Amino acid sequence: MTSHLEEYTSEWPSGVGPGALVEVRLKNRPLIGVILREVRNGGRNMVHTLTADGRIIYHLTHDIFYAVPKFVDHFHIKRCGIEEKPDNSKELMARVSVAEKVRAFSKATEDLFNGYAAPFNMVYPWVSASGEDTWASTTVAEVAKLLNIQHRDRSLVLHALYSHLMKHSQMFVLDNHDFLSSQTFYVRPRSQVERFNQVWHLMHNDNHRVRQFALRAKEIIVGLRKMTGNSKSQAPSYNSASNFAFTEDDQLFIQFFLDSLVEIRTAQTNPYAPFVCEIIKSLGLYDGDIDSEQVRQFLVDLGVLSPWQDIPSLRQVQPALMTATPDPVPLTKGKQVSKSAASISSLGPDDLYPTDPLEAIRHDFGELPVYTIDDNGAQELDDGISIERDIADPSSLWVHVHVADPTAILPPTHSLARRARDAVHTFYFNHSSWPMLPESLGNKLSLGNAARTGQAENVMTFSAKVNPSGDIVDYRVRAGIIRNVRTLRYDDVDAAMSFHSHDSTFPFGRPTNSLPTALSLSPTDTDNLHLLDIFSKRMVTYRLGTSAFSYGLGRPELSVSPKPLPVGRVDLMQPGLFLGNPQISYVVRNACLSGSRHIVAEAAQVANRIASRFGRDHGVPLVRRSIGAPVGSGESLADLVRLRDKKTGWVDFFDVRRRGAQFPSSRYTLEPAEHWMLGVAEGEGYTRATSPLRRYGDLVTHWQIKHALLHNEPLYSSRDMQATFDRIGAREERWKRITQLHDKWWALAFVKRWMESERKIGAYSPMESMIGRVAGRARQDVFRGTWVQEVYIANLGLSGFLESADSEREIGAAIAVAVDKIMLLTYPVLRLKLAHH
């Protein structure tokens, strides 16, 4: 499934469900109540909650931040009913009884909250990091243990401490990832808290210094606007603005403004907001609400941030980017360490392997053609594909997936391996990339790089024998050598082979450099690419024999030139002078891959299945990526299986949403568990192994497999593998969210600039006559009294929210919409309105 629309899973923390007491936060207003029932509504988990004042509110599970399981028994919950008003006196009395119990809990918590005020003051010094600029993290349970509070009702204690942590957002920021289960808070660095206190004091007691900063800031902004005003047609550039310099007070306030951009959910009060608003409004340069978009623009205008720096990818504002992942520990047997593990541990932190550990057992593939197919300008080419018919059974195909082999030179003890561990994976941003491994090493090991100079390349090869039904009937895992690599582009291959491709649309015009170029293919190349197409279709046939299906929506991708952009750095000595604008093209990618993109995706999936089989069959602990079957009625799921496209196995996104099917969260497990969406059965498993240049987990998998190939034993124990991937999984979820926000921010910024640009009268605009499709059921904003509905605009690949929506409008219904407002916040928002013709 590939979709940028948020999907809602069907999982709860243990014991949370009807009868649980919950604290719900809508905006940053806490409401305490008891869950009456869960409802699946258009693919989302919704909840009916009875509040302390007797109201029933309808909200997302995502709005629950604290829970006490089994607070009210099921008998009383059932008697409450679910309608907005009670149907009879029994329902009324049941609601009164539950509401009284909620109010009693709330009052007891409030008393404890007030009583803990003094001891709570000791929490920050205890849990904050020793480094002045270092983030830390803690949980509600850890704070309770630190304070050593003795009380008969632990749930009251935890809720009181949770409330304190939520309130003191100048020190503690809730972690968005699975907060209801983890109850984790990030702890701001000491320097950040000290800055906040300094500015708070100045705003209340020394307004002269604040006014002086505002005057200097205004002077700099006006000066820089004059210098940059006529540079829009230039290529992007960055230099220091030597005409200006920041004072010590300027530096304090600039850092304070940067601190204010730290990602904080609306469930918590942003303590910076009143001070930031007061200063920016005093400049008289900005209109409208003062929010994170205005703060960012102020820092851009001040020469602190580049014009193309979005908020989500700004490292300084992402606490999730500041925590490390411990190394996995080589396996020990009793007190003896295996010889190879001992030889690894004897290497220093800057020592590469002196020789390739698997040199003696590498299989040489000779002149067998290897095809590396990717987008134009792609970095870190991890894998290539070969194909040949089985000699004994020509109806079966051997597909070899050759994967770049950084572990031929990089031991797990090397400092670069530790860097990869902390990065978890490469970040691909629109303005730049943050490679997991140094760019020089990644380029050197990128598949096809050595082939340009006629050299052989080391690879890890995962081979599968695929019969006409798409079954994998045999496999091999080998350290290999390849010599004949062809590096190709997707669009060029599709054009040369006449592969049907419906991957991309260009709503704002297609750039000339994206047009396919003529390929010179030999008859052998043509035959091999034809066989690869047959292979990919066989894998679809295999999945159609299971109950698996995929679904998703197209999403925008932006191509930026030049890349990397000159983003400069946060310079507290003097402003930066940023001139020019990058060239940006906007393409909407179809979620259902076709042509050569589909071939590459199928090959990678097969390789990952082979990696899992190897671990299963050789007793090597490997971690699998698993996702179970969707949750929903048997009839609804059977309908969706029948609705699958017979050529692709895909189901229309809106059919899935209409039937309310929900997928469990993906997880990492040592068991060869199913990956339902890919048609991977229980007992086979799916181990990611095809991207070791850009995913740390794949590096760990390669070290583990290669150790088994060489020594018939694993390098890491099951326990260490699971612990490592649990940490990787948690960070991947956070990274994924940052990337999604970054991509949406850039796409919306592009659309906003397009709408504000001057165009010829009558010129085509994709913003006119936009048709959206309803992507979720309407839900009520209980505070504003309006209905809000998610709408997907296929032409832009973007989803937005239609306010004052008709609650009766069905999922999938087409509707004419127009852009109401684009808000480039930390959480970028596209607000829509009904189009009037």
**Residue-wise DSSP of 81-123:** -SSSS-SSHHHHHHHHHHHHHHHHHHHHHHHHHHHTHHHHTTH
* pLDDT exceeds cutoff 60 at 326: no
pLDDT band at 177 (very low <50, low <70, confident <90, very high): confident
> Crossing angle, helix 207-228 and helix 273-283, to 10 degrees?
60
Q: What is the pLDDT of residues 807-832, one digit of tens each?
A: 678 999 999 999 999 999 989 999 99
Q: What is the pLDDT of residues 455-494, one digit of tens each?
A: 999 999 999 999 999 999 999 999 999 999 999 999 999 9
- Cis geometry, peptide bond prior to residue 562 (ω within 30 degrees of 0): yes
Q: How far apart are CA 795 and CA 754, in angstroms?
A: 15
User: What percent of the chain is predicted at pLDDT more than 90?
Assistant: 73
Q: What is the pLDDT of residues 42-77, one digit of tens each?
A: 667 789 999 999 999 988 888 999 999 999 999 999
Could you say which DSSP state residue 663 is in?
Answer: P
* 257 touches 271 (CB < 8 A): no
Task: Output the pLDDT for position 6.
Answer: 37
Closest CA to 607 of 719, 459, 482: 459
Task: Output the pLDDT for position 7.
Answer: 38
Task: Output the pLDDT for position 764.
Answer: 79
Q: What domains appear along the chain, each with residue ranges and CATH number? A: 190-322 (no CATH), 361-415+425-542+554-564+582-614+624-629+664-710 (no CATH), 758-834 (2.40.50)
Q: What is the pLDDT of residues 490-512, one digit of tens each?
A: 999 999 999 987 778 999 998 87
* 85 touches 810 (CB < 8 A): no
Q: Which helix (H) or strand (E) holds 586?
A: strand 583-589
Query: Which H, E and C letters describe 408-461, residue by residue?
Result: HCCCCCCHHHHHHHHHCECEECCCCEECCCCHHHHHHHCCCCHHHHCCCEEEEE
Cα within 13 Å of Cα(735), Cβ side = 20
* pLDDT exceeds cutoff 80 at 136: yes
* 302 touches 220 (CB < 8 A): yes
Closest CA to 45 of 68, 22, 70, 73: 22
Q: What is the pTM of this model?
A: 0.91
Task: Output the pLDDT for position 328.
Answer: 63
Task: Output the pLDDT for position 335.
Answer: 40
* 143 touches 165 (CB < 8 A): yes
Q: What is the pLDDT of residues 697-748, one digit of tens each?
A: 999 999 999 999 999 899 999 999 999 999 999 888 888 889 999 999 999 9
* pLDDT exceeds cutoff 50 at 157: yes
**Residue-wise DSSP of 739-758:** HHHHHHHHHHHHHHHHHHS-
